[in-house]
Chain A
Amino acid sequence: MKVTPNSTEPILRIRGLCKSFGAQPVLQGIDLDVRPSQVVVVIGPSGSGKSTLLRCCNGLEQAEAGRVDICSQTLVDQGRMLPEAQLNALREDVGMVFQSFNLFAHLSVLDNITLGPRKLRGQSRAQAEMQARALLDKVGLAHKADAMPASLSGGQKQRVAIARALAMQPRVMLFDEPTSALDPELVGEVLQVMKLLASEGMTMMVVTHEMDFAKEVADVVVVMDAGMVVESGPPETIFSQPTQERTRSFLQAILSRS
């Protein structure tokens, strides 16, 4: 367990966030703080709004009510989004990793990672590639620099996707079920990289069904259901003494599966 000072200002602050798809409410008043170097893991049954919550934190979804402050900027306030140019700049500070990897299919592993730094940071190809190779080394894929995404396994793709996000030197990383599309034997290699990031002090918000990861790495576990936070707290409390019946039944369902 890391010791995280709680006095610091949150890097991500969500207040009263509401979002619906058509008539279907997906988020119904979410409050959540993520402080620097904290790892916040969001769990809950599918359809509970976890992914939507995460996507509201970098503007891929627009919340209708409530407010998101991230990296000292107000991303959305009562349905008003940050203007396009500032939103793009903000996204450079907020890395995102997707369930379905979303590597750029037409670019090599190296080009996937260097595209952002070259187009947005004005880095030369040589500069960007040096950084990219260092990141690939970190995620254990130095030998795959010239491979095309189609030739990689799911676990390798996701590790490249993490490297691609890291190349922008984000202040926060959002993980949207990063291991849910992986074969079971490939989950470990991705979680290992995420643990490494956490140990280096990266601020992370992770939506996942990996309860062992939550127990081991999370500073705060947030349980969501039906668009609301059921309860949140340190993993020891959530997993061994949950106060809410909803949490108990969800954990039971998840844990009996494995």
Chain B
Amino acid sequence: MDLDFSPVWSGWPQLLQGALVTVEVTSVSLLLGCVLGLLIGMGRLHPERRWVYGFCTAYLAVIRGTPLLVQLFILFFGLPQFGIMLPAFLCGVLGLGIYSGAYVSEIVRGAIQSIDRGQMEAARSIGLSSRQAMLNVILPQAVVRMIPPLGNEFIALIKNSALVSLLTIHDLMHEGQKIISVSYRSLEVYLAIALMYFVLTGLTTLALRHVEQRLRAGGMVQ
């Protein structure tokens, strides 16, 4: 068996360009996922607000209970039947963001509910409204607890983003497949892509570790 990495070397600029698109797709969907996750997670804190709670619970059930690939295809290939033609990049970001939001929402809810009840009571007892207490007392503490599970979620998102190559988005996976289609060097190119994804997830892990350490140094984490 002989390995020939020359297509990887000659296709290097293409792969880097693809990696850049992967970073773009994942960062935007990460942001979207966090915003959605925060809203959905907070919407599930109070079951007595039945409509909000019901909507958020349904969102979680549907998005978490169906494959990401199917959701992406519905956005990209399904919606045009209703005359809704979204650009591929938007479909990819929306699909990944909505999907990730479901998982982030459970991280958000878990972290908020893990904060001792006494913190909210103390905040309310000095006269803060529930919104002020949430913003100034509960969320700052909850965010710190979200970081480790969010790290997992970010890494899953980076890897899941390879699926958007099927929506004609020119991400790392897509660029790799283009190189394979002319060089027929599947193993070499896939190994190179795997390595590049590994670098991306590794950098994410390091960045989050850094953030956590800084918070710890600031006394935010016990």
Contact = CB atoms under 8 A, between A and B. Distances in A.
A164 interface: yes
B121 A102 contact: yes
A105 B119 contact: yes
Query: For the side of the interface on B, what is the size category?
Result: 20 to 34
Nearest to A151: B219
A58 B141 contact: no
A168 B119 CA distance: 17
Contact of A92 (B116, B126, B132, B220): B126
B117 to A, nearest CB: 9
Nearest to A96: B125
A168 B122 CA distance: 13
A91 B222 contact: no
A88 B219 CA distance: 30
B124 interface: yes
- By secondary structure, the B interface counts as helix
B85 to A, nearest CB: 46
Nearest to B128: A119
B122 A102 contact: yes
Interface string B101-137: 0000000000000001011011111111100100011
B148 interface: no
A116 interface: yes
A245 to B, nearest CB: 36
B144 interface: yes
Given A88-B129, A120-B126, A150-B222, A106 B144 contact: yes
A115 B126 contact: yes
Interface centre among B118, B119, B125, B129 (most CB of A within 10 A): B125
A84 interface: yes
A60 B128 contact: no
Given A84-B129, A98-B118, A100-B118, A60 B124 contact: yes
B136 to A, nearest CB: 6
Interface in A95-124: 95-96, 98, 100-106, 108, 115-116, 119-120
A106 B121 CA distance: 15
Contacts of B126: 91-92, 95, 115-116, 120, 164-165, 167-168
A237 to B, nearest CB: 32
B127 A168 contact: yes
B119 A91 contact: no
Interface centre among A88, A105, A116 (most CB of B within 10 A): A105
B121 A60 contact: yes
B87 interface: no
Interface in B175-222: 219-220, 222
Given A84-B129, A116-B126, A102 B141 contact: no
Contact of A106 (B116, B127, B141): B141
A53 to B, nearest CB: 15
A102 B127 contact: no
A164 B127 CA distance: 12
Given A96-B125, A100-B118, A120-B126, 8 more contacts: A98-B118, A98-B122, A102-B121, A106-B137, A106-B141, A115-B128, A116-B127, A116-B128
Interface of B: 116, 118-119, 121-129, 132, 136-137, 140-141, 144, 219-220, 222
27 contacts: A60-B121, A60-B124, A88-B127, A94-B125, A95-B125, A96-B122, A98-B122, A98-B125, A102-B116, A102-B121, A104-B119, A104-B122, A104-B137, A104-B141, A105-B222, A106-B140, A106-B141, A106-B144, A106-B220, A108-B219, A115-B136, A115-B137, A119-B128, A120-B128, A165-B126, A168-B126, A168-B127
